[in-house]
Structure 1
């Protein structure tokens, strides 16, 4: 660690338990702690759940579509070597419109990774492998303290730092507090940060299936009147399913036993991969758009779903959080190298300015696409199908979409370029 960075890290570690207190031990919180450790910044990750729950080796059906930029960040943090053999490259994306049981409309879009030079557009990784990799890396990192089964019940900011009160009556002090605690963020609420958004009257049914035929690395997004169905390739002859339906209908499907659930899924899934069977558990979650009214406050920053929750229509939720992680880590590391107070409001405002446009743009885009496609209006159907056919016929438009989906456009943080923070 260089001298300038050492001088910028803290007044005295005796004054603070850590430089950064991170509330939330899911995916964004540990990833941020590892990114900050590259810059010599010490973090305490406070997780309400147990290590055993986070490290459960059983497959539970949950998986993530990691954009190429997110994969590059995991590689820069030293995590990808342990994940690569369990990851499924996404080589193509096919987008189509239609109705259950009728198949796809004649106009559709297909995007192939061969149209860009960088490689696959992204990778599918199961939740269990990503969480275990993060836990193992945190345990090996001297700059990270990990408090599991620990709930924050209070927070207080003063001129030099922030104190969080834990449910067991103890407290921790740091220079900066980061909320990575989801859409219902207690960190944001205690700071007086409100939220703006609305529900979609849609619920996502999430599961995984095995199938007879190989998927060949192709991800499918099938738009139906009730909501989109995403079929995302996993290693082997398996795929992850994110099936959005109107909430009343989704609740009926969720209440079915496995056999009846498959019967409901089959006419929507189709037979292009042969017979299908459920693998792992099934989950449901309501879909909404929710944006924190501010990404920062005094000695506080929000990351991931604590700052923004968007429709899963583009599979960008985790990637959006990882872009927050990369941006915040870079801002804090650069500030520390300059000898600045890493939690000063002008420093945190740099992070907010960097991320606000990107998050707002994606929120508007996913909202508009969902509203355009989640209906059966014949005029809208004709217009969107013709539009997809037009985009599919234009190589430049396809390439732009692919690079956007891969996370290669805009002001990309160093970590998401595959470079150290």
Structure 2
């Protein structure tokens, strides 16, 4: 650790969160709202303006939107959120003239409550930032955690600016390639898929009516996710070399390949915003906690986007960790003690592992062009489509409403 710098005399924090995206901010809001006496800071190396203008969008499940409502930000987010009223699944080859629909889902988990909304990331982060400030969460950006050392009763943190802070708990919410996780010495199980996810936004002539589409193509799933207005967000899985070629190539080639996959059912499509490609893989942390240290969000688990559950797993982490920490404080316990943090790990680890396995199997099952495998999976999709009770189970699972859920995800305060 560096010598004395500005901030050495600052009062110790209860919780310091490394990572100021939606996971880090929502954790800060959840803790401070439930326990106003708790001192919380969120630090991120990126300027806040960059975080609040992220052009991407995410699928926010019903349970997560209940949490955001409980945290006091959904009312601000809602005008920018597009409900998913229906979802269809197809399975075909790229050259097929017709894509038969094998599976459809009604978009409601309760009357008037869709199973998910598409929400612009920038709007979500901006709303959480404003709520965090209003509650008294200390927001530090641009800055980042350079190093930390666990001492007796405290973790001493050195920021990139040279400022030093002390906290009872450091939470890493700094993404799938978490530097804080590496500094803590936590190993991961990781393997790469020969795929990249291309993300962009398109505008189309005809309204989508809130319908989400997932087309299983030989190179991977191609998802069309409805946004407000006649716009859709695309999550396009492609072989890595081909994805790099498409993203780096000219607009004409990209739009031509996009149209082959998108189809003409929504009329003429035009790009609206940048296109990015990111490598796809599976990353699972071998441990979620250390003394005075915890992982949350993608720092704990990075999964394939085939089920659209990455963000929602992160919000489950937030809800569980906040509940564990607040209840520990109410019992007079140390929020950074290992036995407290292990309650969080036990709550979240199996669910995370299970979702990682499910997305891995689905990707391997559907990202191939073997006729025999295709026939079997299409029969399976057709059978599910004819079983309303099973469809209801799957839609509630996607909405985050199955199993034991933290209170925030049921819309209840901690």
TM above 0.5: yes
Question: What residue number does 1:139 align with?
Answer: 133
The CA deviation string for residues 248-295 of structure 1, in whole angstroms up to 9 with x for no partner, is 111111122222211011111111111100011111100000011100
**Would you say 1:364 and 2:361 are equivalent positions?**
no
Residue pairs, 1:16-415, within 5 angstroms: 16-40=11-35, 41-56=38-53, 60=55, 62-103=56-97, 105-106=99-100, 108-114=102-108, 116-117=110-111, 119-142=113-136, 144-415=137-408
Taking a change above 3 Å as real, the CA distance of residues 91 and 328 of structure 1, as seen in their structure-2 partners, is same
Query: Does the 8 Å contact 1:221/1:229 carry over to 2?
Result: yes
Question: What residue number does 1:8 align with?
Answer: none
Q: Distance in 1 between matches of 2:108 and 2:158?
A: 52
SS of 1:99 mapped into structure 2? coil
Q: Distance in 2 between matches of 1:289 and 1:186?
A: 17
Q: Distance in 2 between matches of 1:30 and 1:187?
A: 17
Number of residue pairs matched by the alignment: 404
The CA deviation at 1:15 is 8.2
Q: Distance in 1 between matches of 2:262 and 2:104?
A: 18
SS of 2:185 mapped into structure 1? coil
Q: Distance in 2 between matches of 1:174 and 1:212?
A: 53
The CA deviation at 1:103 is 5.0
SS of 1:313 mapped into structure 2? helix
The CA deviation at 1:170 is 1.9
Query: Does the 8 Å contact 1:92/1:219 carry over to 2?
Result: yes
Taking a change above 3 Å as real, the CA distance of residues 318 and 249 of structure 1, as seen in their structure-2 partners, is same
Q: Distance in 2 between matches of 1:256 and 1:38?
A: 47
The CA deviation at 1:54 is 2.0
The CA deviation at 1:151 is 2.0
Question: What residue number does 2:5 align with?
Answer: none
Q: Distance in 1 between matches of 2:120 and 2:10?
A: 40
Q: Distance in 2 between matches of 1:219 and 1:417?
A: 24
SS of 2:124 mapped into structure 1? helix
Q: Distance in 1 between matches of 2:164 and 2:268?
A: 54
The CA deviation string for residues 51-98 of structure 1, in whole angstroms up to 9 with x for no partner, is 222233xx73x1010000010000000000111111100111111111
The CA deviation at 1:116 is 4.5
SS of 1:96 mapped into structure 2? strand
Q: Distance in 1 between matches of 2:186 and 2:380?
A: 39
Q: Distance in 1 between matches of 2:13 and 2:169?
A: 9
TM-score, scaled to structure 1: 0.93
Q: Which runs of 5+ in 2 are unaligned?
A: 1-8
- What RMSD in Å do the two structures reach over aligned CA positions? 1.4
Q: Which moved more, 1:237-246 or 1:145-154?
A: 145-154
The CA deviation at 1:113 is 2.5
SS of 1:294 mapped into structure 2? coil
Q: Distance in 1 between matches of 2:312 and 2:243?
A: 26
SS of 1:333 mapped into structure 2? helix
Query: Does the 8 Å contact 1:213/1:273 carry over to 2?
Result: yes
SS of 2:382 mapped into structure 1? helix
SS of 2:273 mapped into structure 1? strand
Q: Which runs of 5+ in 1 are unaligned?
A: 1-13
The CA deviation at 1:117 is 4.2
Query: Does the 8 Å contact 1:18/1:42 carry over to 2?
Result: yes
The CA deviation string for residues 169-193 of structure 1, in whole angstroms up to 9 with x for no partner, is 2211010010001111121111110
Query: Does the 8 Å contact 1:38/1:420 carry over to 2?
Result: no
Query: Does the 8 Å contact 2:109/2:399 carry over to 1?
Result: no
